[in-house]
Amino acid sequence: MKTRGLLATLAALLGLVVLVFVLGGLPQAGTGPSPASPATTSSPVAGSPTARTAAPTTAPRAPGVANPSGLPEIKASALPSEARRVLVLIARGGPYPYARDNAVFSNFERILPRKSSGYYREFTVPTPGESDRGARRIVTGAGGEKYYTADHYNSFKFIAEGK
152 included as an active-site residue: yes
Q: Are 98 and 15 in contact (CB under 8 A)?
A: yes
Residue 63 CA to residue 25 CA, distance in Å, equals 28
Choose the catalytic residue: 73, 82, 109, 122. Answer: 122
Residue 36 CA to residue 17 CA, distance in Å, equals 29
Choose the catalytic residue: 73, 109, 145, 152. Answer: 152
Q: 152: which strand partners?
A: none
Residue 148 CA to residue 136 CA, distance in Å, equals 7
Q: Kindly tell me the sign of the dihedral angle through the C-alpha atoms of 81, 87, 88, 94.
A: positive
Residue 53 CA to residue 48 CA, distance in Å, equals 13
122 included as an active-site residue: yes
- Residues with a catalytic annotation lie at 122, 152
